[in-house]
Structure 1
Amino acid sequence: MNKHSLQIALAYMSVVIGGGFASGNEVLQFFSGYGVAGVAGSVISAVLFAFLGMQIARISSVMQAASHKQVLYIMFGKQAGLVVDLILSFFLYGVGVVMLAGAGSTLAQQFGLAPLIGSVLMTVLVIGTLCLNVRGIINLISVVMPFLLVLVLAIMVYSIYTSSAAVEELTQVATEVPVITFLGADVPHWALSGLLYASFNIAVGFPMLAVIGGLIKSPKAAARGGMAGGLGLGFLIILLNIGLFTNLDKLQGVEIPTLMLAQNIHPWLAVLLSIALVCMIYSTAVGMFFAFSARFAAPETNRFKVLSAVFAVVGLGLSQVGFTKLVGTVYPMLGVVGLVLIIAIAASWIRTRNHSAEELASEAKRLS
């Protein structure tokens, strides 16, 4: 795997592994509540991550896409592509709201603060970053990603190794864990939950992956990078799921599961993880609110700054619904958008796999 493939793989993983993933709340609701079968659900997500990452990166590279909208236009046509783009932007805003709630839950669980305090602090940081253009902070926060991954992996491996609960006991506890809801009802099967989890995350990662794939001249290198990133994500999800399942007896009613497991190992480890989580939540929140505000105003303009502040404050109000409830509501609905993308990606790949770069580029230019 060359450096271009590695760049795509790391970028793919970075955009998906945000505060929600590392908190363990997503994985707990999507997989752990199904017991041992939830591991099979996480394997389904892993396979889909690899396939979808490979196809998005390949198609984007072949057509040298400069924007994810070009890829959407290729898959849906100009009018339908615009509608999908707007719907996608709306739900990505919802992810930003979830991050504000996640900041409140993290600080509440670790430091005993009222959830509103953490959410307000994160909202102020987001507004300050978007209005004052503190780009260096975002670059600095990106350094936290490797540290966070190593920390979470170490916590999971240690927690799996030291778990003493019997599988039968854990399976019984799993029946009491709230699973993800979809259209007002619990998702009835682990396989469907695995599909929804992959579709949600591909909806979140699609815009960045499409743009980065377009920067790579070799479609094969881009495809390898997308597949490698998807397999890496799959490995992390499976390990995190196993770690949470083997400790379900300690995690009932906990909003930030990984933080609780860190606390059980050592209080200072929990402090380090909480700081890393807040940094990742901050980075994800800024990215989501920036993308949403950019739909209505050019970045760095006064209009953009005002709208960013308004959207963030509205998001603060919405975030008070609660972290766990928002994850269980926003993510499955975004998963519906992701399902549409998955179908379109597969159909587009079948339709365009034999097209030349010139043919795809010409079609993209016609539709843009």
Structure 2
Amino acid sequence: MDRGKLNVIQVAVMYIGVIMGAGFASGRETWQFFGVFGKDGIKGILLATVCFVVFGHMISYIAISKDTQELGKVVSPFNSKVVDDVIGWVLAIIYYSMIIAMSAAGGSLLEYQFGVNKIVGGTIIVVLTVATAAGDFQRISGVFRTLIPITFTVVMIAIVMVLMKGQDQS
């Protein structure tokens, strides 16, 4: 298999992995959003899945039709460098804020779980995030192809453990 080319399954797995990695599908939140509603929760999961598929397809279609990889050009209905630049700056600020929030949460988690100082733990999270996101698409997709199966396996094990042990709903 050519390592430079991605097939549909690899792109789908990466897309799901990014959504999981972004926190949408973390265990506690998924339980809180969907699990407590029983059968209606399953409907919610299906609706969310359909929305992610539709929106992912829409973004891909727009990017392909505009022949671009820049999110500003995908999001903006205008053909304006100024608008594209403003969108780029807004996204940069949002991404920077996300890294700050991730480092704070990760630092607190590492302190709670392992006794690591919050600043050291936050720095570790930032370094890992930057190391994961640095580089071109081929490098990042290679990292994701390695990490997503591991993440998926851990999530499946956690789900099985929760189902076997039971979950306190309070």
Task: Report if aligned partners of 2:108, 2:118 keep a CA contact under 8 Å in 1.
Answer: yes
Q: Give the direction of change, closer, same or farther, for the CA distance of 1:247–1:149 in structure 2 (3 Å limit).
A: farther
Aligned partner of 1:151 in structure 2 is 154
Gaps of at least 5 residues in structure 2 are 1-5
Residue 169 of structure 2 is matched in structure 1 by: 248
Pairing partner for 2:66 from 44, 63, 66: 63
| Structure with larger RCO (C-alpha < 8 A, sep 6+) | 1
From 104, 109, 112, the equivalent of 2:112 is 109
Structure 1 residues 200-349: aligned runs within 5 Å: 246-249=167-170
CA distance in 1: counterparts of 2:17 and 2:28, whole angstroms: 18
Q: Secondary structure at the match of 1:248?
A: coil
- Are residues 1:50 and 2:53 paired? yes
Among 91, 113, 121, the residue aligned to 2:94: 91
SS in 2 for 1:20: coil
CA contact (8 A) 2:110 2:121 kept: yes
2:75 equivalent to 1:72 = yes
Q: Percent identity of the aligned residues?
A: 23
Change (3 A) 1:21 1:116: farther
SS of the residue corresponding to residue 68 of structure 2 reads coil
SS of equivalent residue, structure 2 residue 96: helix
- The alpha carbon displacement at 1:94 in A equals 1.6
Alpha-carbon RMSD across the aligned residues, in angstroms, is 3.7
Query: Which residues in structure 2 correspond to 1:100-139 (within 5 Å)?
Result: 100-123=103-126, 125=127
Equivalents in 2 of 1:58, 1:138: separation in Å?
A: 21
**Count of equivalent residues:** 158
Alignment partners' CA distance in 1, 2:83 and 2:63:
19
Residue 62 of structure 1: how far off its partner (Å): 2.8
Question: If the length of structure 2 is used for normalisation, what is the TM-score?
Answer: 0.68
Question: Deviations 1:290-333 (Å, cap 9, x if unpaired)?
Answer: xxxxxxxxxxxxxxxxxxxxxxxxxxxxxxxxxxxxxxxxxxxx
Deviation at 1:113, TM superposition (A): 3.3
Check conservation: 1:19, 1:99, Cα contact below 8 A. Answer: no
Rg comparison, structure with higher value: 1
Structure-2 residue corresponding to 1:36? 37
For the 8 Å contact 1:108–1:115, the answer to whether it is kept is yes
**Equivalent in the alignment of 1:288:** none
